[in-house]
Amino acid sequence: MVHQYKLAGRNIVIDTNSGAIHLVDGLAYDAIAGEGLAALQARYPEAAQDEIAAVFADIEALKAAGQLFTPDAPYREIASEVKRSGEVKALCLHVAHTCNLTCEYCFAREGQYHGAAALMPFVVGKQALDFLLAHSGARRYLEVDFFGGEPLLNWDVVKALVAYGRSQEKKWDKVFRFTLTTNGMLIDDEVIDFANREMENVVLSLDGRRAVHDRFRKTASGGGSYDIVVPKMQELVRRRNGRNYYIRGTFTRQNLDFVTDILHMADLGLRELSMEPVVGPPDDPHAIRAEDLPAIFAEYERLAEEMERRRGTEGEFRFYHYILNLDHGPCVYKRLTGCGSGTEYLAVTPEGDLYPCHQFVGDPKYVMGDVRQGVVNTAARGKLAGLSVYTRPDCADCWARLYCGGGCAANAYHVSGDVRGIDGLGCAMFKKRLECAIALRAGECV
């Protein structure tokens, strides 16, 4: 499968099944698209016949090298044979099902996930880490995200769990990679020191401009949180000493000019940026609609242009979805099977219940078990373990399927009613981001 597109004055050819990507001129672009000699001579009268013949020869050479029109023959078989081992390598620990903000767009419904407010006791968190250690098989790196609600509302338990995890690393020959995802309200010097010492990654929620951020991210009294959190985030990042972090925003159809918000973050001195389309029911007034896509696509192109303009300057920044690991990225097994929710990755509620991921929490059909007895919902697990780009009918003809791994099962479930479905709007935005990211990378090569 080959995907061709033109963006930012560049002609890009993606050979999906090999992962090869080519930057070509107009003549080669049309030749790869199937134009014959006569048509090319008519369209490119300045090109001599032997030049066109050379392009045809190059195309054949790329085919022979497995870099163009590569078949997917081995992959379908691999995907059907992949039986996830039952090893778990990542947990999303919901240490607090409560929040000190009241964001109207929150998929967690102000941190409570349709349930009661709760804090995870240390003993439940310890059981979760023990479950992960015992079920991680040969996997050495174990990921644990302290999530919520707002995890800093249960900070002492977070610190105690980090200490417990570290105490077990040598015994089990494992390495914990902890992540803290926070709204920033309770960041102080002690949080900064601890997080910058112990957390592999810190994800900080900021939506961009003050008015945009404060529209949704309000305190219990109804005030905005921008002025509280921005200085704290800037200080944490300043003292992060190069360790991973992301400033993560959410955009809704209320700010379809969201690139202005990304640039605002960059202008605050923040350099590792992410901006996600809001997740919610289609009838939500803030949800992205199909009619919004042209504006969103234009914004993604504007973002790529601006990043290219800032390249090598003090204002340079990275955008999470424009990061491409093309040469040392995921292998075909990962690309075929995606995120691993419900198999390699589980979310844990304050009570210790297991769900396929944070976006399933609160859905009784997807309670997988608990941290004491492990995964017992074999029906749900089997359905999720069988997911691949070949078991989602809508992925059959999609050029991007080995870049998304089949996409987000939770979004697919919430939009289509089936984890084997897709979230069509999410797919459209993913593909546009990917096209922009590759065009941006191509710009580094010319």
Partner 1 sequence: MERILTITPGNLPQSVQTGGCGECPTSCQSACKTSCGVINQPCEEKK
> Residues 382 to 441: which contact partner 1 by CB under 8 A?
402-405, 407-408, 411, 426, 429-430, 434, 438, 441
Cα torsion angle, 199, 181, 406, 252, sign: negative
Query: What 3-state DSSP class applies to 119?
Result: strand
The DSSP secondary structure of 363-430, one letter per residue, reads -GGG--EETTTEE--HHHHHHHHT--TTT-GGGTT-TTHHHHTT--HHHHHHHHSSTTS--HHHHHHH
Treating both helix axes as pointing N-terminal to C-terminal, what angle do 424-444 and 409-416 enclose, rounded to 10 degrees? Answer: 140
Note whether 6 binds partner 1 by CB under 8 A.
no
For partner 1, give the closer residue by CB, 141 or 188.
141
Specify whether the CB–CB gap between 417 and 409 falls below 8 A: no
Stretch that binds partner 1, among 25-33, 150-158, 226-234, 369-377 (CB under 8 A): 25-33
- Distance, in Å, from the CA atom of 197 to the CA atom of 214, rounded to the nearest integer, reads 30
For partner 1, give the closer residue by CB, 23 or 186.
23
Find, among 83, 81, 34, 78, the residue nearest to 55 by Cα: 34
For partner 1, give the closer residue by CB, 357 or 375.
357
Site for partner 1 in 321-340 (CB under 8 A): 321, 323-335, 338-340
Note whether 24 binds partner 1 by CB under 8 A.
yes
For partner 1, give the closer residue by CB, 54 or 123.
54
Site for partner 1 in 162-221 (CB under 8 A): 177, 179, 181, 201, 203
Site for partner 1 in 238-277 (CB under 8 A): 244, 246, 248, 274, 276-277
- Distance, in Å, from the CA atom of 196 to the CA atom of 244, rounded to the nearest integer, reads 9
Site for partner 1 in 289-318 (CB under 8 A): none
CB of 442 to partner 1, least distance (A): 6
Site for partner 1 in 124-143 (CB under 8 A): 139-141, 143
Cα torsion angle, 271, 254, 306, 444, sign: positive
Instruction: Work out the burial of residue 214: count CB atoms within 10 Å of its CB; fewer than 13 is exposed, 13-18 middle, 19 or more buried.
Output: middle
CB of 23 to partner 1, least distance (A): 5
CB of 236 to partner 1, least distance (A): 15
For partner 1, give the closer residue by CB, 56 or 194.
56
User: What backbone torsions phi and psi does residue 281 show, to the nearest 5 degrees?
Assistant: -65, 145
> The tokens 């340079």 sit on which residue?
316
Angle at the Cα of 179 (from 329 to 342), degrees rounded to 5?
A: 70
For partner 1, the binding residue among 64, 379, 396, 445 (CB under 8 A) is 445
Note whether 359 binds partner 1 by CB under 8 A.
yes
CB of 223 to partner 1, least distance (A): 25
For partner 1, give the closer residue by CB, 100 or 359.
359
